[in-house]
């Protein structure tokens, strides 16, 4: 195997024996076969689109689901990938048949039809993976993989949106255009860079679509105080990203005496009016995803994983963790969807059997729900606070969290930001510091939780609105982005920021292994991307002072 799509990749170069994430060579090989098969689907689908045809919803859904399934810490189930590859064969055949006489000559690899058995697929895998062509230009490979990983991230957002009944033709069409391009050997570095930035632009539209899907279904997030301590009684911890799964779980547990705790990226659910009206949505359990093996250890309740990020479960809680949607692990009970509904009865019954926490903990609370609607409703006050000198600078500190040493940088950075600065945060990176009290500034909490990683759309909306108010560009605002990255959704978001020509982004804790030196140099020169160093040095560079308590 060879995989370097995430930040924790072995030695900062690539996983070749076993994925640090827990992915084994069998799953890695099947994912390589699936991605190659999707590239062929992209080729034929793009030809159909160019001839004026529309891609049907089942094909759109398959592309999103299959791409999402290969994202880090989503699915470890080889049988699921075998089924995806088999379905890819069927869809490719259907697209070719639909093209008929319109079909143009196919590039090498587009016609590949995977064998039917897992063993034969694995035989083909070494010829289809990232390093299959040892003669490929390293910069081309770097940009091809950057584009592919951006697609994996964007597929997650398109999947969540489609789950709520929303799709977008422009977003779907670009998947086929971009996947087709990955088979085009005539493209040079400028064309690949252009495609990566086009993906970033398309991902902004995709995140906007998901924002609309969530807010139309559940209302605009509102600042909401939530428990981060335990309450006595049976409970279910729901992790992942899908708000529809949370809504269905809340409805099915109503009146059953079961408390529902969010975990990880489900925490923004507490801010949506249609979700928080369920009083047994009791609070948030645990911290970031990478601590789940310790935090779920012998848990006296159930865990429902709706999407990423899943870690291989320990024996101490294998009997009480369930999967649904894209996520999966061999032997893990799976909740299917039938007619847009999921029956969570097995999870509910297990939670009641386990009994839950025995006693209440002393109450501790934090505040979530500062989406773009909530923040921009106070835009005038924010602008006045800047003009009067109360707010000197804005920081966006967030992104994907992970276990690599050095991520304490983000906690230290937040702790050392001067008291006359305001912090926005989003995604699971916020669990490094979101439980801390940073006080208030100009009538606002100094730390504003914007939401999930896809709520980068909210952060962008806020930044653009402030730039309009001050009649300047986003790069001229007193705003600095300090981002952590881990998996492929972070790649899609970074490409979105670059497509908007946002510069001077601080990123860490390491640079992606899939960036070649030349590609990295190009991004540094064009967009002034900076690798984080130390909190003191970076704050001095940004503000011209090391003062942590100005």
Three-point CA angle 296, 299, 301, nearest 5°? 115
Give the integer Cα–Cα distance in Å for 275 and 244: 10
Matching CATH number, 375-484+516-543, of 3.40.50.2030, 2.60.120.260, 3.20.20.120, 3.40.50.10860: 3.40.50.2030
Query: What is the tens place of the pLDDT at every residue in 47-69?
Result: 999 999 999 999 999 999 999 99
100 vs 39 pLDDT, higher one: 39
Confidence check: pLDDT of 547 > 80:
no
Portion of the chain with pLDDT greater than 90, in percent: 96
> Could you tell me the maximum CA-CA distance found in the chain, to the nearest angstrom?
71
If residue 461 lies in a helix (H) or strand (E), which one and from where to where? helix 456-469
Give the integer Cα–Cα distance in Å for 237 and 286: 9
Q: Which CATH architecture has domain 224-354?
A: 3-Layer(aba) Sandwich (3.40)
pLDDT at residue number 545: 52
For the chain, what is the total number of helices (H) and then of strands (E)? 18, 18
pLDDT at residue number 407: 93
Give the integer Cα–Cα distance in Å for 162 and 26: 30
Burial of 33 (0-12, 13-18, 19+ CB in 10 A): buried
pTM of the model: 0.96
Residue 18 token pair: 């076993």
pLDDT at residue number 105: 85
Over residues 468-475, the mean pLDDT reads 96
Read off φ and ψ for residue 299, nearest 5 degrees. Answer: -60, 135
Query: What is the tens place of the pLDDT at every residue in 122-164?
Result: 999 999 999 999 999 999 999 999 999 999 999 999 999 999 9
224-354 and 375-484+516-543 have identical folds: yes
Query: What is the tens place of the pLDDT at every residue in 180-230?
Result: 999 999 999 999 999 999 999 999 999 999 999 999 999 999 999 999 999
CB atoms within 10 A of CB 534: 12
339 vs 104 pLDDT, higher one: 339
Give the integer Cα–Cα distance in Å for 136 and 255: 60
User: In 3-state terms, what secondary structure has residue 429?
Assistant: helix
CA-derived radius of gyration, the chain: 23
Q: Give me the helices (H) in 399-440, please.
A: 408-416
Q: Do the bridges between strand 341-342 and strand 421-426 make them parallel or antiparallel, or are there none, so unpaired?
A: unpaired
Bridge partners, 422 (sequence order): 394
pLDDT at residue number 405: 82
Query: What is the tens place of the pLDDT at every residue in 363-374?
Result: 999 999 999 999
The full length of the chain comes to: 550
Give the integer Cα–Cα distance in Å for 47 and 55: 11
Q: Which CATH architecture has domain 10-217?
A: Up-down Bundle (1.20)
Q: Where are the domains of the chain?
A: 10-217, 224-354, 375-484+516-543
pLDDT at residue number 328: 96
DSSP 8-state assignment for residue 474: G
Q: Do the bridges between strand 393-399 and strand 479-484 make them parallel or antiparallel, or are there none, so unpaired?
A: parallel
Give the integer Cα–Cα distance in Å for 44 and 151: 18
C-alpha dihedral sign at 337, 341, 343, 347:
positive
Give the integer Cα–Cα distance in Å for 147 and 136: 16
DSSP 8-state assignment for residue 272: S
């Amino acid at each position: 195997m060879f995989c370097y799509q995430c930040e924790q990749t072995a030695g900062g170069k690539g996983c070749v024996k076993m994925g640090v994430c827990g992915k084994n060579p069998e799953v890695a090989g099947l994912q390589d076969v699936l991605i190659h098969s999707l590239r062929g689907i992209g080729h034929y689908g793009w030809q159909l689109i160019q001839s004026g045809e529309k891609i049907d919803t089942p094909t759109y859904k398959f592309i999103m689901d299959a791409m999402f399934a290969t994202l880090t810490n989503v699915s470890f189930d080889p049988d699921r990938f075998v089924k995806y590859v088999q379905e890819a064969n069927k869809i490719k055949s259907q697209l070719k048949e639909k093209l008929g006489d319109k079909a143009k000559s196919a590039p090498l690899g587009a016609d590949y039809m995977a064998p039917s058995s897992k063993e034969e697929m694995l035989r083909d895998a070494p010829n289809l993976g990232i390093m299959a062509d040892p003669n490929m230009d390293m910069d081309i490979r770097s940009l091809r993989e950057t584009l592919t990983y951006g697609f994996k991230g964007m597929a997650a957002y398109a999947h969540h949106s489609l789950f709520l009944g929303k799709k977008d033709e422009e977003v779907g069409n670009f998947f086929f255009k971009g996947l087709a391009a990955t088979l085009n050997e005539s493209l040079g570095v400028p064309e690949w860079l252009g495609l990566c930035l086009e993906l970033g632009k398309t991902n902004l539209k995709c995140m906007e679509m998901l924002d609309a899907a969530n807010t139309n279904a559940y209302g605009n997030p509102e600042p909401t105080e939530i428990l981060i301590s335990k309450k006595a009684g049976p409970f279910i911890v729901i992790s992942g990203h899908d708000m529809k799964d949370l809504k269905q779980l809340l409805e099915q547990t109503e009146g059953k005496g079961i408390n529902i705790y969010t975990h990880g990226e489900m925490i923004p659910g507490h801010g949506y009016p249609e979700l928080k009206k369920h009083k047994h949505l009791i609070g948030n359990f645990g911290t970031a995803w990478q601590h789940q093996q310790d935090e779920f250890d012998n848990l006296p309740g159930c865990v429902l994983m709706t999407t990423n990020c899943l870690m291989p479960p320990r024996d101490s809680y294998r009997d009480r963790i369930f999967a649904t949607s894209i996520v999966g692990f061999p032997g893990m009970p799976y909740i299917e969807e039938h007619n847009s509904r999921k029956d969570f009865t097995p999870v509910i019954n297990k939670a009641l059997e386990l009994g839950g926490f025995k006693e209440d903990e002393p109450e501790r609370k934090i505040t979530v729900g500062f989406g773009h609607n909530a923040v921009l409703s106070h835009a005038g006050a924010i602008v006045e606070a800047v003009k009067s000198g109360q707010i000197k600078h804005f920081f966006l500190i967030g992104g994907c969290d992970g276990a690599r040493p050095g991520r304490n940088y983000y906690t230290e950075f937040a702790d050392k930001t001067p008291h006359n600065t305001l912090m926005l945060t989003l995604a699971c990176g916020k669990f490094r510091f979101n439980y801390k009290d940073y006080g208030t500034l100009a009538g606002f909490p100094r730390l504003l939780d914007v939401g999930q990683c896809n709520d980068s759309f909210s952060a962008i909306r806020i930044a653009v609105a402030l730039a309009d108010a001050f009649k300047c560009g986003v790069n001229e605002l007193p705003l600095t982005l300090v981002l952590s990255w881990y998996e492929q959704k972070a790649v899609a978001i970074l490409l979105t920021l670059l497509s908007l020509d946002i510069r001077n982004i601080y990123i860490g804790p390491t640079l992606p292994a899939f960036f070649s030196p030349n590609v990295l140099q190009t991004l540094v020169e064009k967009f002034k991307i900076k690798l984080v160093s130390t909190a003191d040095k970076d704050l001095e560079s940004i503000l011209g002072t090391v003062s942590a308590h100005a």
